[in-house]
Homo-oligomer: A and B are copies of this chain.
Amino acid sequence: MALSAEPDPQQVDHRTLPRRRGEVLYAAIFDATLAELAEVGYARLAMERIAARAHTSKASLYKRWPNRAELVVAALRHQRGEPEPAPDTGSLREDVLTLLRRAAARLDGTFGQAARGLMAETLADPDRTATVRATMFVARNRYLTEILNRAVAREEIPASAIKPHIIGLAPALVDHHFLMHGAPIPEEVLTNIVDDILLPLLTSTQ
């Protein structure tokens, strides 16, 4: 994404440009969304400015995304592209730590700023919380399940240790730290979650 090489959106009349469709237009809109997000933050993010920056109309934005929350979620998903596979280091501890470090690194950037803004917006409108949560946070649970299943296969942990609320535990604690204390999340917080909370629960025989 060469966002800084874009011409000044104020000086371009999008109606004079050749008509773009599908992938190309979407990519321009997503790039503009993320560039605006990085420049002005979520609270001041405006559909109007995004449209201008992407050389399109506000109406064509609203036609596809009813509000900025959904546009931001779509832009972040697009930026992410094909997600990295779940870590597979051969060690449960390293796999989980790698996953949490990735999550912490993403939260300490544009994604984190967007996540904070989206949480703020959806908390004020609780009915939408579920959608955003599903989009933003579910991938980590899927990765953790994969990591834990491999640890069971290696006989590092018993299969009985895998319960839904144990799978979601470490990501929930990372999210909570981010929401309460912001980013960056110190490495010590991540190792405490893994060494003092998750691993003892997974390895203790009950």
A residues bordering B, Cβ < 8 Å?
A: 42-43, 116-117, 119-121, 123-126, 129-130, 133, 137, 163, 165-166, 169, 172-173, 175-176, 179-182, 189, 192-193, 196-197, 200-201, 204, 206
A180–B129 contact, CB under 8 A? yes
What residues on B are CB-neighbors of A42 within 8 Å? 124
Extra A-B contacts (18), CB below 8 Å, given A42-B124, A165-B197: A43-B125, A117-B123, A117-B124, A119-B123, A120-B120, A120-B121, A120-B123, A129-B179, A163-B196, A165-B189, A165-B192, A165-B193, A169-B197, A172-B172, A173-B173, A173-B176, A175-B180, A176-B176
Task: Give A137 to B179 CA distance when docked, in angstroms.
Answer: 13
**Can you give 12 contacting A-B residue pairs, CB < 8 Å?**
A116-B123, A117-B123, A119-B120, A120-B124, A129-B181, A133-B180, A165-B193, A166-B196, A166-B197, A172-B176, A175-B176, A200-B200
B165–A196 contact, CB under 8 A? yes
| Closest B residue by C-beta to A44 | B124
A179–B119 contact, CB under 8 A? yes
User: How far does the Cβ of A69 sit from chain B's closest Cβ, in whole Å?
Assistant: 13
User: How far does the Cβ of A168 sit from chain B's closest Cβ, in whole Å?
Assistant: 9
What residues on B are CB-neighbors of A172 within 8 Å? 172-173, 176, 180
A129–B182 contact, CB under 8 A? yes
